[in-house]
Structure 1
Amino acid sequence: MAGRARRSVEVRREEILSTTVELLDELGLAATRVADVAVALDVSPALVFYHFGTKDELVAEAFAHAVERDLERMEKAASGQDPVAALRRVLKLYGPTGRATGWRIWIDAWAVALRDADIRQQLKRLDHRWQDVLRGIVRDGVAAGVFTCPDPESSIARLSALVDGLSVAVVVHKSVTRTQLRAWVGAQLAVELGVEPSVMA
């Protein structure tokens, strides 16, 4: 019986997080209220507060929930024996795809993080996780003699900044297409990793 009750709590928590993610995408991190989540789920705000002590905690965990799904897909894509193929798969997933829900929330979180310590902490943790994926692929490629990269940490920092900046241009300004993003990132990757541009095309 205790196991069944525990499962019920986990399911409800998952439902709250998923609904909050939808509202974060629609309304934004700063504007989403616990009352909005409660109305969307047809539950009382008290139930939401039962699972998440404060609105800030709810928003921070929902943001992490949205981004972690994308990160899990990237971690799976990074597996395999071919570092070049792994890097292509990961970068295809990292740039804005589909409705780009994760990216819209991620970009919104950058602004909120200036004044919200919870979001800032989640951003830092998730960004490190993404860079760990990239770091592992570059390390494997260098060890296999496929990549030539004398300073992987600097290369990873530059590549992350490039993808982040271009993704803002795609999602917010709409001044860059997704095709351009992939082409420009691929070209810079070739420079950073010492391979022919055609390898990353």
Structure 2
Amino acid sequence: MSGRTRRKVEVRREEILLTAIAQVEEVGLAAVRVSDVASALGISTGLVFYHFGTKDELVAEAFTYAVERDLAAMERAAARRGPVLDRIRAVLRSYGPTGSAAGWRLWVDGWALAQHEPVIAERYRVLDDRSRRILRDLVDEGVADSSLTCVDPGASVSRLLALLDGLSVAAEVHRSVSRAQLRRWVNGAIATELGAS
């Protein structure tokens, strides 16, 4: 395959992924249909299957592609200059629902689908581990430079993310918690968990 042909294949694959993500944001991971993705692009379903093999693989790749964008935002927040506590807050802001929260809603959709779809479950575990590692590395950095006091960084990271997950569901799905409350409670938990003011 020539370089030009390979580039065309990569571009087409990315177009399919972006279209699949748009479909997922409308109907959810479980309900996305290959025929709708193909129709939106004006291509055959056979071309989608050529690139992805199965619907499950398309959904898993679309989920991974979208979540990778969220993880990249977390990594950029972690890599900023400045105090580790400010970077932890920035990472948690990028992890939780912000703006239209489309990326975060996709995480929630992934949680649900992962219970029944092994391909999504495996992708979800890898991506979730990466998000935890981003936060854990910052906490370890703060403990090492004595800006944070934390007896068990792994447990603190798990509790912070569990709290943020639960509050995010309450804010975005149930609408029983405001975003202002979410931010205030997460900031309180950071202070408690990490010994930070």
Q: Report the secondary structure of 2:148's partner residue.
A: coil
The match for 1:103 is 104
* Unmatched runs of 5 consecutive residues or more in structure 2: none
Farther off after superposition, 48-57 or 73-82? 73-82
| 1:30 Cα deviation after fit | 1.1
Q: Distance between the aligned counterparts of 1:54 and 1:143, measured in 2?
A: 47
The match for 2:149 is 148
Q: Distance between the aligned counterparts of 2:11 and 2:183, measured in 1?
A: 37
Q: Distance between the aligned counterparts of 1:115 and 1:144, measured in 2?
A: 43
The match for 1:182 is 183
Q: Report the secondary structure of 2:98's partner residue.
A: coil
| 1:113 Cα deviation after fit | 1.1
1:55-106 deviation line (CA, Å, top 9, x unaligned): 0000011011111101101101101342012112111111101111111111
Equivalent residues in 2 for 1:1-201, closer than 5 Å: 2-79=2-79, 80-196=81-197
Q: Distance between the aligned counterparts of 1:170 and 1:67, measured in 2?
A: 20
CA contact (8 A) 2:85 2:196 kept: no
1:89-137 deviation line (CA, Å, top 9, x unaligned): 1111111011111111111111111110011111111110100010011
Farther off after superposition, 77-86 or 122-131? 77-86
CA contact (8 A) 2:19 2:41 kept: yes
1:18-68 deviation line (CA, Å, top 9, x unaligned): 110111110111111110100111110011001100000000110111111
Q: Report the secondary structure of 1:175's partner residue.
A: coil
| Runs of at least 4 residues off by over 4 Å | none
Farther off after superposition, 131-140 or 165-174? 165-174
CA contact (8 A) 1:103 1:171 kept: no
Aligned sequence identity (%)? 57
Q: Which amino acid aligns with 1:155?
A: S
Q: Distance between the aligned counterparts of 1:146 and 1:180, measured in 2?
A: 26
Q: Distance between the aligned counterparts of 2:167 and 2:7, measured in 1?
A: 41
* Unmatched runs of 5 consecutive residues or more in structure 1: 197-201
Q: Report the secondary structure of 1:78's partner residue.
A: helix
Q: Report the secondary structure of 2:147's partner residue.
A: coil
Q: Which amino acid aligns with 1:10?
A: E
Q: Which amino acid aligns with 1:49?
A: F
> Normalising by the residue count of structure 2, what TM-score does the alignment of the two structures yield?
0.96
CA contact (8 A) 2:95 2:104 kept: no
